[in-house]
Amino acid sequence: MGNVRPAGKRLYFAKVRAPIGGRPEKIRNFHAYMRQTLKHIGLIVLGLATGAAATLAFSQASAQSATTPLPLEQLRLLAEVFGQIKREYVQPVDDKKLLTAAIKGMVSSLDPHSSYLDKEEYKELQEQTRGRFAGLGIEISQEDGLVKVITPIEDSPAFKAGLKPGDLITRIDDKPVRGMTLDQAVKRMRGAPGSKVTLTIYRKSDERTFPVSIVRAEIRVQSVKGKLLEPGIAYVRITSFQERTVPDLAKKLQELSKDQPVKGLILDLRNNGGGILQSAVGVSAAFVQNGATVVTTNGQIEDAKQKYTATFDNYRLSASPDDPLKGEAPIWKTVPMVVLVNAYSASASEIVAGALQDSKRALIMGKTTFGKGSVQTVRQLSPDTALRLTTAYYYTPSGRSIQSIGIKPDVPVDQNPKGDPDDVLVTREIDYQNHLHNTQTPDEQKEIDARETRRLEELRRLEEENAKKTPEERKKESQERLPDLGSADDFMLQQAVHQLKGEPVQRTKSRLEANAGPLPKDAKAAPAATPAAGAKTDPKTDTVVPAKPTDKK
């Protein structure tokens, strides 16, 4: 493995453009213009290869860029298409717009997580990792073509305006939401602090539509929350992996162990779509033994071959000499522990879950995770743009890749005590057409086919059950809402408490979870020395995993 990355170099998990010159001022004939355009396109392609590599300080970058010839035939074809569009398209098209679209298409064709970030997208990524942005303060997703409120962030403008989980946004400043992408809706709801936006809300529970005017403000997302569920049982929820996550976690753990002895810990990673790799390493380091392997990465370039251990240098994100975990209470390294995951636990969440499972430090409970086993490096191309490129696969301490497969829970548990019928509709990494294949699973297509067969069987069963219900029963079910994560009525959390206390646990009713068998008698949430605390995950077994992580506005 290569050396540890210097502090400040961030690797991201997926909830950077060189300036392209304009058209020559004078073009005496089309062929001269196309010759100049072809030359310029070649420089753009070369710039993407060398500029990003230089920023990453890859030792092999210069040699590779010098010896890799440009695909001139394909560049000529691109220039020809460019010329056809300029000559024959029904209306004039801006050169920069065309070439930017070509770059975006080139990068996005690689895999679902590589992308070219324009000014707005790059700014949004920076805001997400810092945990600060100007907007309304709501977590959202899409439902039936509308924007659905997952939850308002506590003390945010949306929270103070009375928005509730489950509310549907139908209009943003009189612009219909139907037909917008989630990103387009995000851009409309964000804005300068102090500016106003009017949302039209449909509230299912009241069967009414009403307008809400909200004044935007700077939102500071608290990625770590925690409390004592009952004497001796601590609960910590991490919503994303940001720059402040490890220091905030250290502070929260200190608070929880200050007044009384902790006998059990529940770490909640549900709906956590990921974030910064170093933050995931730091969170893992809070619970595993010092120096233990957390994750390894491997890619084409030597610098992508890394081993991250539970040491400060591996999760340092600034020049600060102070380790936020220094002085951590020893109890957090040994206390019996359960980690909650679901289909929306992705990327950095899966790194933490995999590290704690492989080290037999914690028992994983919930649903199979998303299955994103790759690392993205974000490199600035200009002051306002960047390239987010998949540069490595990552592997859990035992050497397994979870790419397209996910982390299988040791104890599969539903979020709903009646079962989770919506599991059949969940989209996961393996469902993307251009997803990266798991190199440890040569027969991946068989896994995809087997999963689809199970899904269709489950759909047919649910349709048969639904046909037997009365209209009143269907209406009642459609109005039911699951309790908030971490609340007293959170069923999966209740099962985690049962697990810690040695009480019976109600396992999943989902037929999509391949490992949903009886709980072994010796399975228990236990410290690192207890073998039963974490079972191995079979990378050849496929199960259900996620939809797009929620966005924050």
Residue 347 is among the residues annotated as catalytic for this protein: yes
36: left (phi over 0), alpha (psi -120 to 50) or beta: alpha
Residue spans of beta strands (DSSP E) within 206-336: 208-215, 217-220, 224-230, 233-238, 264-268, 293-298, 306-309
CA quadruple 472, 478, 482, 483: dihedral, nearest 10: -70
Residue 359 is among the residues annotated as catalytic for this protein: no
Amino acid at 159: F
Q: Which residues of 481-494 are buried (b: 16+ CB within 10 A; e: fewer)?
A: eebebbeeebbbbb
Catalytic option among 111, 248, 323, 358: 358
CA quadruple 327, 328, 334, 339: dihedral, nearest 10: -160
Catalytic option among 252, 333, 367, 372: 372
Q: Tell me if 528 sits within 8 A of 289, measured CB to CB.
A: yes
SS (H, E, C) 350-378: HHHHHHHHHCCCCEEEECCCCCCCEEEEE
Catalytic option among 114, 156, 223, 347: 347
Q: Which residues of 374-389 are buried (b: 16+ CB within 10 A; e: fewer)?
A: bbbbbbbbeebbbbbb
3-state DSSP helix/strand/coil % of the chain, to nearest 5: 35, 20, 45
Q: Which long-range contacts (CB under 8 A, 24 or more apart) does 454-461 make?
A: 454/511, 454/512, 455/424, 455/512, 457/511, 458/423, 458/424, 458/510, 458/511, 458/512, 459/424, 461/511
Residue 213 is among the residues annotated as catalytic for this protein: no
Which residues are known catalytic residues?
A: 347, 358, 372
